[in-house]
Amino acid sequence: MKENVKHNHHYLPQFYLKYWADDKNKVWIYRLHRSNVNRQPEKVLCHISKVCSEEKLYSIGDDISIEDWADRNIEYHCAPTFKKIICRKEIDDKDIFYTKSFLALTMARHPLLKNSSEVVFNFYTKTNLALELNSHLLSRNLIEKILNTFSQTIKPLNPLAQTTILRMNVNLRELDKLNLQILYIPDEVDAFFCTSDVPFFIVTDVVKEKFNDLEINHPIITHVWFPISPKTLAFLSNVEKLPVYEEISDLDRIKNINNELRSRAMNIIIGNKSDIF
């Protein structure tokens, strides 16, 4: 039984899902029907151990070190950080770092990225191999021949797992440029944030940059919304000098945030009660 649990890898960890759960660790999930937009989502009460997870999602053969790394280095630190945020305690630079790291990891290890992960893996490994070959002063023709052979013969065992840390670091560099603010709904306001199997939405802008005398369009992240609990939402933005905590009582604004979160869900929307629609 332990072995099955160990290999049931969550892309949204249970400590996070638990904030939407009842006293039996069950959450309300709404299964979406993308093929039929006229159908209402199917509502199910489900244990958090069976939500947002896949068997051996981050295993590389029998090696589960990527899952263990995420647990030890990110999730372990985020659990107490999120508790501080939800209780509206003072947060420090470490708390901000781990909040951004959790979001960067969540953005990096989602099953949606399976199809693109092999491309990332091949590009990254091939680029590093090219740098290594160049350091040995080989001819360009020979380097190209070696790289072409390499790209045809080397296949990743689990490209999602093998690119997760790389993707996370790229995401974190972008998120680190943004300022963190916590939006919370007062207890007396009868409104809640939902979450989903894609628990964030991102706003980007395009800037022009010069690269080798060429002007290119480069997308940058300007805003990110990420619910931490039914009453608490992390907001990252390029706006400076925002208060750390801000009360949000505007029902229309809360509704718009929830609608944005729902529109980006892949298969399920998650709520803490049975009537979030």
Q: What is the pLDDT of residue 1?
A: 35
DSSP 3-state of 234: strand
For residue 86, what are its two tokens? 């939800």
Mean per-residue pLDDT for 238-260?
A: 93
Side-by-side strand order, sheet with 232-237: 201-211, 214-229, 232-237, 179-184, 245-247
Q: What is the pLDDT of residue 273?
A: 82
DSSP 3-state of 140: helix
Mean per-residue pLDDT for 121-136?
A: 69
CA 151 – CA 143 distance, rounded (Å): 12
Q: What is the pLDDT of residue 4?
A: 43
pTM here is 0.84
CA 60 – CA 158 distance, rounded (Å): 6
For residue 170, what are its two tokens? 């790229």
Q: What is the pLDDT of residue 39?
A: 64
What is the helix (H) or strand (E) element at residue 8, kind and residue range? strand 8-10
Q: Do residues 178 and 111 touch, judged by C-beta distance below 8 A?
A: no
Q: At residue 104, does pLDDT exceed 70?
A: yes
Q: What is the dihedral of CA 157, 160, 163, 165, to 10 degrees?
A: -120
Q: What is the pLDDT of residue 47?
A: 96
pLDDT-derived band at 11 (thresholds 50, 70, 90) equals very high
High-pLDDT (> 70) share of the chain, %: 82
